[in-house]
Homo-oligomer: A and B are copies of this chain.
């Protein structure tokens, strides 16, 4: 099983394998998972690696560790419900007013990278960007999505724009012919406001313990569902694996699209981030949306979305003619931060801070 070690993500690959087994029912709720030493030997990895993988299964709500007894499966497809995870409220979707400077990129890193960009790109700093974003940024985001979330897409599925709100608008223009959009209630107020401003009627679906209530999902006639599965603002609710699968089941019906607004999962306190619905959705009906405005600084207006292949034509027809709204400078800056590792270093620094101080960001 050398592939695990070679990729440097042994625990991650093992986690995925175990998760799949649990979801497919190879292990059922209440089952004990194989002892760490046994798995380590079988897979040819270290016990530490297995420990990491098991820890991640626990954080994601698939299993739980019992003192001196081992790890037990807690996930069950039948009741669409998991043990749920942490409910830390980190609400990046706060708007102005709060001092979030402790979570911004350090000024020194920003300046250093800005100078690298000014020296490196020359005349390209003043030429027009491709509409969806510069090749440099799209490829850097693609690599980042792959290593961080296991999302494997082509760079032509990625579109960058001047902040999440701007991309909500682009999605409204692209999908408004479908009719009503369902949104979480409560949720970040600008989601519904932006859709409404674009003439889209919104159906607010009430939230239960781990996301939109099942009966609400059944009730709505909306064709588009916008969810914030990680640390939803203002409730702090994070969708359980079961709830994510419920969203996935919802989106399977004809003409439905799910918008996964992952506005701040970078600051998840687990070993690794929550798995994305986008990567779980093999049917290609989910849009993944994330923002650098939250993770880098509110002064840097840049967000991105990943469209499933099936939506590319619709996007191109309805909103593909818009020029890119992010200046070249910021595009190169973010690409540099992603490729140099400074972005992940910064995110880890903030996560450690949150962990140490048990900060509740609202």
Contacts and interface: CB of A to CB of B under 8 A. Distances in A.
Copies of this subunit: 2
Nearest to A97: B128
A163 interface: yes
Interface string A32-50: 0000000000000000000
A126 B107 contact: yes
A193 interface: yes
A129 B300 CA distance: 9
B107 A114 contact: no
Contacts of A163: 323, 325
Contacts of A193: 321
Given A126-B299, A128-B298, A319 B197 contact: yes
Given A105-B126, A300-B329, A327-B329, 4 more contacts: A101-B126, A107-B123, A115-B115, A165-B322
A324 B297 contact: no
Contacts of A107: 122-123, 125-126
Contact of A329 (B104, B126, B299): B299
Contacts of A300: 126, 327-329
Given A173-B198, A329-B329, A329-B330, A323 B125 contact: no
A218 to B, nearest CB: 30
A327 B325 contact: no
